[in-house]
Structure 1
Amino acid sequence: MREDQAWPTVEGISTEVLLDETFDRDAITTLRHSVASCARAAGLTGDRLDDFVVAVNELLTNAVRHGGGLGRVQMWSAAGDVVCQVSDSGSGLAGARLEPAVRPPADQPGGWGLWLAEELTDSFELITGTDGTTVRVSSRSSLSQP
């Protein structure tokens, strides 16, 4: 999705809201546990659950660290996917993000969050601008797989 593009509006899709909270640095650990519980209840298990939680934790941390100290996390299940969206109100990403995402060098101490979130989930979308950054990730639930 292009950085200047708005999220598409979709009507008529049944969704179940699992989580919708604002957060700061002090809430990240509690939220990570809530994300794990909600994702498990929505059908993620095993490595898929662990990967999803790590990905969302990276997004939560990025929102606080780079996005002004506060964020909003929303999770829902729809059409067999567990979806999480993390938004902040920072000044946006400084430079264009390479597509496809390139793995950071092994000796680089930071800059791994977005790459990990994309690698560990089935879908990854990012919108960034002067009003903040929103990242949406999703993973297919084992409840919906044959």
Structure 2
Amino acid sequence: MSELTAHLDVPLDRGAPAAARHAVTAVLTGWGFHDDDWLDAASVVVSELVTNAVRHGGGCVEVQLEAHGERVIVSVADESSVVPRRRDPDSLGGRGIALIEAMSAGWTVQNYHGGKRVRVELVPCPGVQESAA
């Protein structure tokens, strides 16, 4: 089984989520993940993770992708050690964790260089064989 990785540093500004979405979609497509609905879901997960890192994390925002066959993990790290938590939605937000949970196979938080890294395992991409990625 092949293993692919990519690491991106994302600018800490309002454009960070869009930049991360575009970069991640390009990398995943290049790795052979072509299902449009799956790529859209991956983009939403990346956008939510990066938005939360920019709003609540601070410091440098790092995005990492890992593909182990059909299994894809998206990680976003920031310099805050505050663990994200689900909260009731309001006019300012509160929907991100629920979206991530609905569009993934699960998520965890790890200590990472004095801050945290949120790791999300995406659901398997339709049409991708274990040996393809």
Give the TM-score category using the shorter length: 0.7 to 0.9
The two structures have a TM-score, normalised by structure 2, of: 0.77
Out of 13, 17, 21, the position equivalent to 2:8 is: 21
Q: How many residues align?
A: 125
> Displacement, 1:134?
1.3
What stretches of structure 1 move > 4 A for 4+ residues in a row? none
Kept after mapping to 1: 8 A contact 2:16/2:51: no
Out of 77, 95, 101, the position equivalent to 1:118 is: 101
The code of the aligned residue for 1:104 comes to D
> Displacement, 1:75?
0.6
> Displacement, 1:27?
3.6
Out of 126, 129, 133, the position equivalent to 1:144 is: 129
C-alpha spacing 1:34/1:129, structure 2 compared with 1 (3 Å): closer
Q: How does 1:1-146 map to 2 (within 5 A)?
A: 14-17=2-5, 19-23=6-10, 24-25=12-13, 26-42=15-31, 43-93=33-83, 97=85, 104-105=88-89, 107-127=90-110, 131-139=114-122, 140-142=124-126, 143-144=128-129
Mind listing any 5+ residue stretches in structure 1 that lack a counterpart? Answer: 1-12
Kept after mapping to 1: 8 A contact 2:17/2:48: no
> Displacement, 1:44?
4.8
The two structures have a TM-score, normalised by structure 1, of: 0.71
> Displacement, 1:144?
2.4
Q: Map Cα deviations across residues 26-54 of structure 1 (whole Å, 9 max, x no partner).
A: 44322210111222333251222111110
Mind listing any 5+ residue stretches in structure 2 that lack a counterpart? Answer: none
Q: Aligned residues: percent identity? A: 32
